Structure 1
Amino acid sequence: MKDKVFFNILMFSVISFFLISLIILPRSFSGEWYFSPIMLQIGRIEIRWYGVLIALSILLATFIAEKEAKKEKIDEDDLFTAVSLGIIFGILGARLYYVIFNFDYFSGNLFAIFKIWQGGLAIHGAILAAFLVVFLYTKIKKNCSFTFLQGLDLFTFVLPLAQSIGRWGNFFNHEAYGAPTNLPWKMYIAPQDRMIGYESYEYFHPTFFYESAWNLVVFLILFYFIRNKRKSYGEVTALYLILYSIGRIPIESLRTDSLYLGNFRVAILISIILIILGIGLFFYLRKKRKNFEIKE
């Protein structure tokens, strides 16, 4: 009964998300409404939409992970310690990853490294950092109530929901948009927010919305899978790596602000690697199920 109520609340949230999108996006994409990145300003203190949405995404993801952790009889202290460390080092990893691939800019603007509220977090850096935190926590913590793969499943199970919400921070920052387009759902970008080389264009692909919608779909798939189809710990993680990366590749190919390694988009290269790793991990876990099977 509790699962049914929880699922109904979740579906209500998803439907509300799309209804709000239908109200806001048409006027915003046409240029009739153009939101400020600043949600509230008190004196010199600025509260930005980007930071608020990132915080909201973390809180909601943690709440859902906690519900699943209780079903798996994971100790609450273990969960929140791991979550706290994961959040801290995930944000640091996301920023460090972004800074490394934009080092030419940040080397001459060192103070800008700390202005994460203005954007500039790379999800692949957050994933790598969080994976490392979970691994170290399960190895160092004596009698940890969850295994490495079990912890990763809880993290990757809710991660796409957090990503889906967090992408709206890009919307309010007027960043992470795609190439110019004249499609019916084109998004207006004001001159001051256009990338160098695109000053003469007005409308662009709303790639933030493409990824937000795709991440929401991935979350719903993983939600169903972890409750009904998972046979071994780690399978949810494998599916996340595959599904998220499949969506990221075409979306990234449209972006105007990609991080590059030589002539290659870093996110696409990483996504291809993650798809291969995810497929390999999934079949390995199914083959070695007895070593990683779910504890009832």
Structure 2
Amino acid sequence: MEEFIILAALNPIAFNLGAIQVHWYGIFIASAVMIAVFLSVKEGQKRGILADNIYDMILWALPVAIISARIYYVIFQWSYYSQHLDEIIKIWDGGIAIYGALIGSGLVVFMYCRNKFIPVWLMLDIISPTVIMGQGIGRWGNFMNQEAFGKVTSLTFLQHLHLPPFIINQMFIQGFYRQPTFLYESLWDLLGFVLLINLRHIDKFFKRGEVALSYVIWYSFGRFFVEGMRTDSLVAFGDIRVSQILSIFLFLGAIIIIIYRRKKYSDLPFYLDGRAIKNK
């Protein structure tokens, strides 16, 4: 095996605007949001949802998602933040929980759609694939911050994954090479995006709401296993992570909801039927 030279970690600061430091973390998150909004608008227009409705909803959902993601993380790390109150707002250093963001933004989507008389399930079906795509892109922000990493591994293992040197070097954290769990989840998310956007355009395949529920099933299943490999995640008890517990509930809950709705409502519209007035 050829000798591998360990280079310095990538700088999490992309550039400076005067006294303002622009972090790669923020760039990846912002890029993910812009791409997700663009794709959601294009799909929404095909399903009878006005672009302005999606833009307006995002203006409410995005700040709530960021705040709720941070609150979720801080709550489960309160033993630390209770002693470092000044660091609670420093989200640019990392430390936001995607499940917290999903909970907060999900509530905004529900309330907005109810207020605008837009079928909630239809809106969720439109945005869900782009959400998981955004999550996949956002994980590269964790990569730049050297977060969301896994257990100690060897250089040989990482080289056998045929990873480019810049990823291998960035996985040298706290004196050891680490499992690139950020990459595992990113690839899982992007694969889920490709599957969902293709499957939802198969005629008579998804009922209204099942694109969103399939997103929940896909994401929670992968997140459960990736989370178990991480060493910097929020721990509930023992070796069980908070996100693993939530993933189990979401995975089972989404399956139960699909079965229930199929049996309860025989007249559920298909996703490709467009926009229906009745929301179930």
TM class by smaller structure? 0.7 to 0.9
CA distance in 2, matches of 1:93, 1:35: 29
Residue 233 of structure 2 is matched in structure 1 by 258
Give yes or no for contact 1:89–1:129 (8 Å, CA) kept in 2: yes
Residue 165 of structure 1 is matched in structure 2 by 137
Residue 277 of structure 1 is matched in structure 2 by 253
CA apart distance, 1:31: 3.2
* Amino acid corresponding to residue 147 of structure 2 in structure 1: E
CA distance in 2, matches of 1:223, 1:291: 20
* Amino acid corresponding to residue 53 of structure 1 in structure 2: F
Residue 15 of structure 1 is matched in structure 2 by none
Residue 41 of structure 2 is matched in structure 1 by 66
CA distance in 2, matches of 1:130, 1:40: 30
* Amino acid corresponding to residue 14 of structure 2 in structure 1: M
* Amino acid corresponding to residue 50 of structure 1 in structure 2: Y
CA apart distance, 1:30: 6.5
2:147 to 165, 168, 175: 175
CA distance in 2, matches of 1:40, 1:93: 27
1:290 corresponds to 2:260: no
Alignment gaps of 5+ in structure 2: 160-167, 275-280
Give yes or no for contact 2:8–2:169 (8 Å, CA) kept in 1: no
CA distance in 2, matches of 1:256, 1:126: 21
Give yes or no for contact 1:160–1:218 (8 Å, CA) kept in 2: yes
Equivalent residue runs for 1:1-296 within 5 Å = 31-32=6-7, 34-141=9-116, 144=117, 146-182=118-154, 184-185=157-158, 187-188=168-169, 193-194=173-174, 201-228=175-202, 230-263=205-238, 264-287=240-263, 288-294=265-271, 295-296=273-274
* Amino acid corresponding to residue 59 of structure 1 in structure 2: M
CA distance in 2, matches of 1:185, 1:284: 44
Distance 1:180 1:211, change over 3 A: same
Alignment gaps of 5+ in structure 1: 1-28, 195-200
Distance 1:105 1:221, change over 3 A: same
Deviations 1:30-79 (A, max 9, x none): 63362110010244310000000000000001110011000001122211
Give yes or no for contact 1:39–1:49 (8 Å, CA) kept in 2: yes
CA distance in 2, matches of 1:128, 1:112: 23
Deviations 1:67-99 (A, max 9, x none): 100000112221111122111111111111111
Which one is further off, 278-287 or 237-246? 278-287
* Amino acid corresponding to residue 275 of structure 1 in structure 2: F
SS of residue matched to 2:43: helix
SS of residue matched to 1:203: strand
CA distance in 1, matches of 2:242, 2:5: 31
Residue 8 of structure 1 is matched in structure 2 by none
SS of residue matched to 1:47: strand
* Amino acid corresponding to residue 111 of structure 1 in structure 2: D
CA apart distance, 1:291: 3.5
Q: How many percent identity over aligned positions?
A: 36
* Amino acid corresponding to residue 123 of structure 2 in structure 1: G
CA distance in 1, matches of 2:68, 2:131: 15
CA apart distance, 1:101: 0.5
* Amino acid corresponding to residue 244 of structure 2 in structure 1: I
- Which structure exhibits the higher relative contact order, with contacts defined as CA atoms closer than 8 Å and separated by 6 or more residues? 2
SS of residue matched to 1:46: strand
TM-score, structure 1 normalization: 0.81
Distance 1:289 1:88, change over 3 A: farther
Task: Work out the number of aligned pairs and report it.
Answer: 258
Which one is further off, 101-110 or 278-287? 278-287
CA distance in 2, matches of 1:289, 1:223: 25
Residue 277 of structure 2 is matched in structure 1 by none
CA distance in 2, matches of 1:289, 1:31: 61
